[in-house]
Chain A
Amino acid sequence: MVGLKFSEKHVLGGILALLVLAAPAALALPKYRMQAITQFHLDDGSGLAALDRRVMACSYCHVKETGGAPWNPFGEAIRATFKANAEAGGKAKFPEVLYILLESGADADGDSYPDALEVWAKTLPGNAASKPSEALEVVQARFEAAGGVRQFEPQQAQKK
């Protein structure tokens, strides 16, 4: 008659512990950030965008790297768009609000490059120190050739 050896018990216990620990942790990944990454076509499909702050840092919209209040000019513009939509009786969700803002041609940080253009050029629409190196007209032409603001239209809106 053979019982489990001490080491075997620990191996099996380790397996169990791994199974328990392998349960997906409730990672604090802000919903809005992930929605924006998808909408801005920044997700390469690897699934790593959720974990890689270089893809989109919280400071894309917030002042602090940890998120929360206060917001930078682009974040404040999103908030104002939410509020205006609600005041008009709308019930727009984040992707729709983001598109409403980009489509408006607004330039939140006042660097003369519209927010949509900066999103496409991968510079920061809420930071005037971050802007495309080429002239506005050049970038604008390339942006339009690439599909313009409609490339950021939420999937649901495209179906309508």
Chain B
Amino acid sequence: MPLHRRDFLKYSALAVAATSGMPGFLARAATQATGQKTLVVIQLTGGNDGLNTLIPYSNGAYYAARPTIAIPKKDVLTLGSDLGMHPSLKPLMGLWDAGQLAWMENIGYPNPNRSHFASMAIWHTADPTQAQAEGWIGRIAEKIGDPFCASNIGSSTPLALRAAEFSLPSIEAVDNFQVKLPAGLEGAFGAMLDAQRGGEADYLVRATRQMLSNTQKVQANVGKYRAGATYPEGKFAAQLKDAARLIASGTGQRILYVSLGGFDTHAGQRGEQDDLLAQLASGLAAFQTDLERQGVAERVVVMGFSEFGRRVAENDSAGTDHGQGSVMFALGKGVKGGIHGDSPDLEDLSLGDIKYKQDFRGVYAGALTNWLGLNAREILGGDFKGPQWLA
């Protein structure tokens, strides 16, 4: 019985699940062509405040709206006559000076939604109408017929990496991904694989054998990795290091997904966001240095987003509430450095929020078309123009 493409994808994922729970990308990795470009997506969970990330330090309205939480002008890392970075982002200044850091201003989507859940789903599915159930990266896997083309580095797969029939793998820690059968079951497992089968069962057995074989090679490659940079402490940096290991080991992943949470700064924003942006910047700076020293920096770009920005005016808890438009960032040697978009207009707001001027799907389209060489229209379901953030 011939397998249809959708069936193939489903049973490929099933082969992984039915055997060891090991992420399927390891099974494919040794045969995956190396040298392909990789996109690393960074999700800032909770709604990062774009105004205190890329600061309109020359705009009096910014300081008027935020009497206690604004970043003092003297502390801003000046990027131009209007905008500058939060001081916690100092580790990224080297990339900015090298033209390898891009900021995209006033990013959002039509009919903004201030719910974390709904807005994140919109970014994950790339569908502001919320009609789409599949994630945009999950759709990539379906379109190119590779259910292991992307992985989440973390414990739970975001909607972005879910397709209709399967979910792309999540990797909690690369070192833990090995076939470790319970003691005494090795023989039974071998006997199960040796049994004569046909049809789909035979396919599952062959896929399992291939996975076991290739996994050993991939683990050997991962084991050879030696960090080219000193990563800071913390889970986020550790996950970036795992991403660097996978890339340097040639596992052939097209997209890796890493998240940093805690950006829902309703109260005491300076204490929370200052620390989070420091984690973000120090982790990414180490990641980029590592990629350089591994000799793979040319084929990796990073793209970062959050589900929404925050209100322009601070609240009575020295924090900010959910808003609309915000900033995105990208970094890497393949990035066209600079600020893509205008400084936000704080005199023309939408219900107290920054109006979006650039659709995030246009940013995705750039990554799909100009970096990954994929058909953005097929994956996003339309043509979306965006900033030219890739060199």
Contacts and interface: CB of A to CB of B under 8 A. Distances in A.
Q: Contact residue range for chain A?
A: 20 to 34
A16 B10 CA distance: 9
A3 B200 contact: yes
A97 interface: yes
B318 interface: yes
A2 interface: yes
Interface in A45-102: 78-80, 82-83, 85-87, 90-94, 96-97
Interface stretch (B11-19, B105-113, B216-224): B11-19
A85 B18 contact: no
Interface string B22-64: 0000000000000000000000000000000000000000000
Task: Name the prevailing secondary structure of the A interface residues.
Answer: helix
A157 interface: no
A28 interface: yes
Given A16-B13, A31-B262, A82 B267 contact: yes
A23 B14 contact: no
- Considering residues B1, B166, B200, B204, which has the most beta carbons from chain A within 10 angstroms of its beta carbon? B200
Given A3-B199, A86-B318, A28 B116 contact: yes
Given A23-B156, A94-B267, A97-B268, A83 B317 contact: yes
A17 B197 CA distance: 24
Contacts of B239: none
Interface residues of B, number: 39
Nearest to A20: B167
B155 A24 contact: yes
Nearest to A32: B267
A26 interface: yes
Interface stretch (B125-133, B175-183, B269-277, B338-346): B269-277
Nearest to A76: B316
A32 to B, nearest CB: 7
A4 interface: yes
Given A31-B262, A91-B268, A2 B201 contact: yes
24 contacts: A1-B202, A2-B196, A3-B199, A4-B199, A8-B201, A12-B17, A12-B18, A16-B10, A16-B14, A16-B17, A16-B18, A19-B17, A23-B155, A23-B167, A24-B156, A31-B262, A82-B319, A83-B316, A87-B67, A87-B68, A92-B268, A93-B268, A93-B272, A97-B267
